[in-house]
Amino acid sequence: MNPKNFKSTKRFSGFPCTHRQWRAESHCRFVHGYSREFYFEFEGKELTKEGWVVDFGGLKEVKAWLNHMFDHTFLVSQDDPAMEEFKKLDEAGVIQLRVMPNPGMEGSAQYVYEEASKILKKLYGDRVWISMVQVSENENNSAIFTP
């Protein structure tokens, strides 16, 4: 049996945050919010001694990072022209500013993949990797990033 055939999945849900797509010509250019959900697929070269791809209970650092980035935060693109105003609101304690390359679903999926992969590398080395990240903003809209 080839252990590369084993995958496991983990879903983290309930991350209320706001963002805006300043380049959009639609209403998406305004600050708006969703409760985001993150779905991961993990793949491994071999299983642990317990027979797992990943220890779900061992993903606390991934969850803590997701909480820091997406729990009651305001996500803004690193090139948003209103950045100085957002920084002032953050300094005044009005928002919890988080700067990303692209706070939309596609950009968030890639960003989450990249950051969570760093955490996984510390935990498992090269034995396990993320094969897919899906970020949902609601039950109708999501984006997927695969490396």
Q: Give me the residues paired with residue 33 across strands.
A: 18
Residue corresponding to tokens 């496991």: 8
CB-based contacts of 101, cutoff 8 Å, min separation 6: 77, 78, 107, 110, 111
Residue corresponding to tokens 């009005």: 94
**For residues 103-129, average pLDDT:** 96
Helix 60-70 and helix 105-124, axial crossing angle in degrees, nearest 10: 150
Residue 3 has pLDDT above 50, yes or no: no
**For residues 83-104, average pLDDT:** 97
**For residues 128-143, average pLDDT:** 96
CA dist 122 and 111 (Å) reads 17
Cα 128 to Cα 86, 122, 142, 147, distances in angstroms:
38, 10, 24, 14
Percent pLDDT > 90 in the chain is: 94
**For residues 29-40, average pLDDT:** 96
Residue 146 has pLDDT above 90, yes or no: yes
**For residues 53-73, average pLDDT:** 96
Higher pLDDT, 2 or 117: 117
**For residues 121-145, average pLDDT:** 95
- What value does the mean pLDDT of the chain take? 94
Residue 4 has pLDDT above 90, yes or no: no
